[in-house]
């Protein structure tokens, strides 16, 4: 017998608009699942059941309006919501309750969504795994002994376990794609400048952007369209091309040219070992796209000088955090290390890294230019046990993050769009994903290709908790 959470987000919206289900019943369904199941998963750090029920009742009293009318979601705990604790994954912010709701939350409210609370994130969203000192770790619903990735690990756990239909997330070096791929979901990292309220244009290197995590490509495209349309662009520069991207689902792959590579820009600096299941997923995806009519070809990509440049920019971003020396004694070792290392950098070193990033962006976009999309592994390694990332040795921790997800951060440096989508299963039955990287502003093409893959792969199994 099917349950409400078996429906896709788009199907739930259709049922809401016809009155087949109501906002109160739908919110109640998810709140019940969160109450019963989340204790062993760590998806949420705050559940706002009373506020969600009141919001759903308010919506139910009026005619349906807005692209997300009545649909539950949750805010990543880096996004302020008035009256709700916003801890940023840090014990320094245990008692912070903002007075103002940030745009990332307000846009979804304005579209008619119902926030159920806050999803788990690591301290200040700095890591590709979600384990902090203020909350239980976010776990992979397929095997809760393993972590869910990060930094949007709570969002990914919630969607994969059927605790939410979809979730907003953010990505500064892979923070949408890493957890989505870890737990077998679709995650879209938009182009720099695409989402007005989280464009990337106001940060060093232009790295962090907002985007969606969902079970299907269409659901992810739906949420991306809401995020893109939610605010006017505050900068003269915005990503080229235009949505809505939901219309790209079903466009097919017949005329696309797809390049395939398993090269990572970290290969010369770190011990990158590609798991055989990840390599097989790329081969399967390439074959499926070729069968669909895409021109698929391997290409020789030789990225240069990436590791030092990215490490400098990441430390520079951390150094901007307003933390005193006393507070640096209270944050986690990886946070303290990044901030202290960043503050040791000279202005000349930072400018040199930013110039190197611009050169890397230009060279990479030129290398990828013959293709509508470039196909890579999503992750180098499968989901790792909770505690696998070194909690004490920050330098080793950083290397482990790179070894786990070496195909993510360079996409942010280049400002390109990318999507991860599951295509195969490993020996345990866990989904294995691939990444499709688009041209600047090329979300429509990669959404179409991801949907083609999704359709040819067919429905994949769900974790056991789905039926709980």
Q: Is 260 helix (H, G, I), strand (E, B) or coil?
A: strand
Helical pair 9-18 and 23-37, crossing angle rounded to 10 deg: 140
The encoded tokens of residue 44 equal: 């949420």
CA distances from 372 to 57, 168, 289, 379 (A): 45, 26, 12, 21
**Active-site option among 90, 115, 170, 175:** 175
Terminal-to-terminal C-alpha distance of the chain: 12
CB atoms within 10 A of CB 118: 27
Closest CA to 78 of 66, 70, 64, 88: 88
DSSP 205: G
Closest CA to 314 of 173, 153, 128: 173
Closest CA to 263 of 300, 306, 233: 300
**Active-site option among 90, 132, 151, 408:** 151
User: How far from chain centre, in Å, is Cα 1?
Assistant: 31
Omega of the bond leading into 203 within 30 degrees of 0 (cis):
no
Half-sphere exposure of residue 331: CA atoms within 13 angstroms, side-chain side? 28
CB atoms within 10 A of CB 134: 18
- Residues with Cβ within 8 Å of 12's Cβ and at least 6 positions away in sequence, in order, are 4, 21, 26, 71, 165
Question: Is the C-alpha dihedral spanning 267, 300, 191, 166 positive or negative?
Answer: negative
Task: Tell me whether residue 199 is one of the annotated catalytic residues.
Answer: no
Phi, psi (5° rounding) for residue 209? Answer: -135, 160
Task: Tell me whether residue 302 is one of the annotated catalytic residues.
Answer: no
**Active-site option among 76, 118, 189, 199:** 76
Task: Tell me whether residue 115 is one of the annotated catalytic residues.
Answer: no
CB of 222 closer than 8 Å to CB of 67: yes
Q: Which residues have a catalytic role annotated? A: 76, 151, 175
């Amino acid at each position: 017998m099917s349950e409400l959470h078996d429906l896709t987000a788009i199907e739930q919206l259709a049922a809401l608009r016809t009155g087949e289900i109501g906002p109160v019943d739908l919110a109640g369904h998810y709140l019940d699942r969160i109450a019963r199941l989340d204790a062993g998963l760590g998806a949420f750090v705050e559940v706002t059941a009373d506020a969600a029920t009141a919001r759903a009742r308010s919506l139910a009293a009026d005619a349906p309006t807005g692209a997300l009318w009545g649909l539950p979601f949750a805010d990543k705990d880096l996004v302020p919501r008035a009256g709700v604790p916003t801890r940023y994954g840090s014990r320094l912010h245990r008692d912070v309750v903002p007075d103002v709701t940030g745009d990332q939350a307000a846009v979804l409210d304005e579209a008619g969504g119902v926030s159920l609370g806050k999803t788990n994130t690591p301290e200040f969203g700095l890591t590709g795994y979600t384990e902090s000192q203020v909350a239980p770790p976010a776990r992979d619903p397929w095997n809760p002994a393993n972590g869910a990735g990060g930094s949007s690990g709570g969002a990914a756990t919630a969607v994969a376990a059927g605790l939410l239909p979809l979730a907003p997330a953010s990505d500064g070096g892979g923070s949408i794609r890493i957890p989505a791929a870890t737990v077998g979901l679709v995650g879209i990292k938009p182009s720099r400048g695409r989402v007005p309220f989280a464009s990337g244009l106001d940060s060093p290197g232009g790295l962090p952007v907002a985007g969606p995590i969902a079970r299907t490509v269409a659901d992810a495209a739906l949420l991306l369209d809401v995020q893109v349309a939610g605010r006017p662009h505050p900068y003269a520069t915005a990503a080229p091309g235009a949505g809505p991207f939901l219309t790209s689902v079903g466009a097919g792959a017949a005329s696309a040219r797809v390049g395939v590579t398993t090269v990572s820009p970290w290969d010369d600096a770190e011990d990158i070992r590609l798991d055989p299941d990840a390599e097989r997923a790329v081969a399967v995806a390439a074959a499926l796209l070729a069968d669909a009519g895409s021109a698929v070809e391997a290409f020789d990509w030789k990225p240069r000088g990436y590791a030092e440049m990215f490490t400098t920019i990441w430390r520079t971003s951390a150094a901007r955090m307003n933390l005193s020396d006393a507070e640096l004694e209270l944050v986690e070792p990886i946070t303290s290390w990044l901030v202290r290392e960043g503050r040791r950098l000279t202005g000349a070193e930072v400018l040199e890294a930013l110039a190197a990033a611009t050169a890397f962006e230009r060279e990479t976009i030129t290398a990828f230019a013959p293709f509508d999309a470039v196909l890579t592994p999503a992750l180098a390694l499968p989901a790792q046990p909770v505690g696998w990332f070194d909690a004490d040795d920050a330098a080793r921790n950083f290397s482990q993050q790179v070894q786990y997800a070496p195909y993510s951060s360079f996409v942010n440096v280049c400002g390109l769009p990318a999507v991860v989508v599951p295509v195969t299963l490993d020996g345990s039955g866990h989904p294995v994903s691939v990444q499709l990287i688009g041209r600047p502003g090329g979300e429509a093409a990669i959404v179409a290709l991801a949907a083609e893959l999704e359709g040819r792969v067919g429905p994949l199994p769900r974790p056991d908790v789905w039926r709980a």
